[in-house]
Structure 1
Amino acid sequence: MAETSRQTYFLVVLSCILFVSVNGECPADKFGDECQFECHCSNGVCEQKSGHCPKGCALGWSGPSCQKQNIALKRRATQSSTFCEPTGRCFNASYSVDGSRDQWLYAGSGCSHTQSSSYNEWRVSWSEEHYITNLVIYNRKDCCQEDLNGFRVYVQQRNGTRVLCYNDPTSQPIRDVIHVRCDAPVLGTSVTITLSGGDDVNLTLCEVEVYVCAAGWYGDHCENQCTGPQCQQCDPTGTYCQDCAVGRFGKDCLGLCHCYDGVACQREGSCPGKGKKLCARGWTGSSCSTGKSLTHHLQNNPYLIFLTF
């Protein structure tokens, strides 16, 4: 302890590391080395390390660890027109996201079906943004399967821009189930399927499933973990992280943000805004990654006590 004429400085440095362990287990609805992943099991309980669900995945989830989600399920769906029979039965857009894979137009909940037109479209949307890569489309089986040839899939971004995801060739063999992979992942809030041609064209979809991986997972079946527990979403190949946890940045989210007042930093680590107060106290540089010396801290924080356990 040292004392000056105006202020007293206390500096206590303890070079100890405190390990805290409760019981080494995650809560029933979490798993992973740091309990960072959510379980998506039918009964809410999964294996602590792998996330495997002995009793199966919850509705809308699939994959080895139930980390693959169908974000189209039960979401809001619309279409350019709706075909209705004289009896009053209509084939609404919502029939394509009701969870039923029945592929007969008149059986079960049926399929969505537009009126005949030179241009038809069907859309499913959600409020949050997702990187869209994979879709599965269930075509009708009772007849007219070739009518779906030549469809297009678009992903609409939050700013309203519509990006082409997939362009189906007009000449295709009959397909009961169509697996679609976007030419490149697109961040968006809705998926639109369009079909155009002559005047006697209608768009019939029995079920549409749009798949994304839960935070921290990638792969066709969301079977692989992204590098590092701080990565919320990596690219479909797992090469780099697209979305780090709050307070992190960098390829594997290993960088720590040091922005003023706890503001989240940008992907390259820089702090948003203008002016002098961009970095947290004690940090400088273009990405606020340069720490100031201990002498500087003491001079600007006269009663500062450092405790490291």
Structure 2
Amino acid sequence: MNLATTQSPVCVGYEGASHLAVDGNITTEFGQSKPHACTCARGTSSTFWSVDLGKPYPLHNIIIFQTNSNHHRLIGLSIFVDESRCYQWKSSPGPPTVFNITCDKTGQIVKFQVPRQEYLTLCEVQIFVCADGYWGQSCSNICGNCRIGTSCNKQDGSCTCQIGWAPPKCTCTYLLSLHNL
């Protein structure tokens, strides 16, 4: 995956390096022996893990694989995209082992943070964007007739239209302009 990751200090006595959350391994078993399959970090006043996507992307959803035990550790989890919060788990008990969140924001740095001194273990984080030609919360809306070689905005569907199609989503044709009457 070759993405730059960082986290609060690694848990003492464990090899839970930050890159383990983006290695493609979706196991939710931390592992009894080294090397471990998941990250392990513990901060002083809060604990974090982050990934740098390399450039800004229009994000859509994130699937989080945490360890199959100790779900309470993620109570209060916030997820930020370029310092703007896109999600918070407020309820008790903590989230399930594998959960999916919608995060329709554009950004480069995705940061997971719990607001206290706590162990943060993430086994895998998968971040998705809408494919070219689609837009919206579930990526189920089809882009209009955008100019060839371009795609629509992943959040609102707007684009630069081909000749003969009306903005902002290029879904309606126009026959003549009012300026020509």
Normalised by the size of structure 1, how large is the TM-score? 0.48
Confirm or deny: 8 A CA contact 1:140 1:205 kept in the other structure.
yes
Tell me, which stretches of 5 or more residues in structure 2 are unaligned? 172-178
Q: Which amino acid aligns with 1:100?
A: N
Q: Which amino acid aligns with 1:175?
A: P
Confirm or deny: 8 A CA contact 2:11 2:42 kept in the other structure.
yes
Please give the secondary structure, in 2, of the residue aligned with 1:105.
coil
1:150 maps to 2:76: yes
- 1:83 alignment partner, one of 11, 27, 52: 11
1:117 maps to 2:38: no
- 2:153 alignment partner, one of 221, 225, 234: 234
Q: Which amino acid aligns with 2:89?
A: D
Confirm or deny: 8 A CA contact 2:74 2:95 kept in the other structure.
no
1:202 maps to 2:128: no
Task: For 2:22 and 2:94, locate their aligned partners in 1 and report how far apart those are by CA, in whole Å.
Answer: 25
Task: For 2:66 and 2:166, locate their aligned partners in 1 and report how far apart those are by CA, in whole Å.
Answer: 43
Please give the secondary structure, in 2, of the residue aligned with 1:91.
coil
- 2:169 alignment partner, one of 249, 252, 263: 252
Q: Which amino acid aligns with 2:152?
A: Q
Are residues 90 and 84 of structure 1, via their aligned partners in 2, closer, same or farther at CA, if it must alter by over 3 Å?
Answer: farther
- Deviation (angstroms), 1:223: 4.8
Aligned to 1:46: none
Amino-acid identity (%): 22
Task: For 1:196 and 1:147, locate their aligned partners in 2 and report how far apart those are by CA, in whole Å.
Answer: 10
- Deviation (angstroms), 1:169: 0.7
- Deviation (angstroms), 1:234: 3.0
Q: Root-mean-square deviation (CA), in Å? A: 3.1
Task: For 2:86 and 2:135, locate their aligned partners in 1 and report how far apart those are by CA, in whole Å.
Answer: 19
Q: Which has the higher contact order (CA 8 A, sep 6+)?
A: 2
- Deviation (angstroms), 1:206: 0.6
Tell me, which stretches of 5 or more residues in structure 1 are unaligned? 1-72, 157-161, 255-289, 291-309
Confirm or deny: 8 A CA contact 2:16 2:40 kept in the other structure.
yes
Aligned to 2:93: 172
1:190 maps to 2:116: no
Are residues 224 and 250 of structure 1, via their aligned partners in 2, closer, same or farther at CA, if it must alter by over 3 Å?
Answer: closer
Are residues 98 and 147 of structure 1, via their aligned partners in 2, closer, same or farther at CA, if it must alter by over 3 Å?
Answer: same
Aligned to 1:138: 65
Normalised by the size of structure 2, how large is the TM-score? 0.77
Confirm or deny: 8 A CA contact 1:103 1:206 kept in the other structure.
yes
